[in-house]
Copies of this chain bind each other. A is one copy, B any other.
Amino acid sequence: MQLVKAHKTFGGMTSFWTHDSTETRTPMRFSTFQPAGGKIKRCIVWLSGLTCTEENFMAKAGAQSLLANTQTMVIAPDTSPRGLNLPAEHDSYDFGSGAGFYVDATVGNYARHYRMFSYVINEICPIARDKFGATELMIMGHSMGGHGALVMGLRHPELFSRIVAFAPIVNPCSVPWGVKAFCGYLGEADRRDSSEIEAKWQSYDACKLLQSGHRHPAPILIYQGTSDEFLGPQLQPDEFSRVARDVGQEHEIKWCEGYDHSYYFVQSFLHAAML
């Protein structure tokens, strides 16, 4: 784990790191913010959205000013392995590089490297605990990263005290972004030998996880802008709410009147989300 660069910020430190990941078999980058004082209690594990790197949240979310005088740090991984040249990896913004979708791929050459689910659970979370001393982890994310936060939080409730998702993809099995990614990473679910593939898809879909019995002990919090250009076709928080009500998962959808899908939206509600 090597420090690439560090910027003093509100008395604390915004840092960018690289390390060799055993899950992705590539060098991986992540960022951290450590508030001043040195005593870390909680850590926000932040999962970013499509096209993002480990830098977006640190540069644009305004977290540092909010956390300056707390004992809460942030760790934010990159959104995919980099430096590979897999088939179709760099062809579109919503698949391959910058679009790992927080799954462990099972298809083709992607299976060897695109293991973002296990990377976050088995490498990023232990770094937060063992290298930085965090004793409580919260999982949060935006858009594709909101999907990641919901899925990781529901599958590993023992790891995360809270789940907060900003404009998340709640049912990737049913919306274009998710279908494209899952076809590419997990295989096409409508093939004849599809029962195993279908089970894979469902294991990365927050709504399906709720329906198959996964729960989180804390209320799940979703912030969603009403003017989000992706609301409807890609983002269907009402569907999450419907399923969560059906199965008895405590949750709250915070509708944010007039807000869109950008980090201007995220920064506006981050403080409330952290409370």
Residues of B within 8 A of A267 (CB): 9-10, 62, 64-65
A10 near B268: Cβ-Cβ < 8 Å: yes
- This chain's copy number in the assembly: 2
Q: Which partner residue on chain B sits nearest A263 by CB separation?
A: B59
B8 near A264: Cβ-Cβ < 8 Å: yes
Q: Which partner residue on chain B sits nearest A33 by CB separation?
A: B264
- Encode A44-69 as 1/0 by CB contact (under 8 A) with B: 00000000000000011010110000
A259 near B8: Cβ-Cβ < 8 Å: yes
Partner of A9, one of B14, B59, B64, B264: B264
- For the complex, is A198 an interface residue (Cβ under 8 Å from B)? no
Residues of B within 8 A of A60 (CB): 59-60
- For the complex, is A39 an interface residue (Cβ under 8 Å from B)? no
Shortest beta-carbon distance from A273 to chain B in Å: 14
Shortest beta-carbon distance from A230 to chain B in Å: 14
Partner of A8, one of B14, B64, B268, B271: B268
Interface centre among A7, A9, A227, A265 (most CB of B within 10 A): A7
Q: Roughly how many angstroms separate A7 CA and B264 CA in the complex, as a whole number?
A: 6
- For the complex, is A262 an interface residue (Cβ under 8 Å from B)? yes
Chain A residues 218 to 275 lying within 8 A of chain B, measured CB to CB, are 225, 227, 258-260, 262-265, 267-268, 271
B65 near A62: Cβ-Cβ < 8 Å: yes
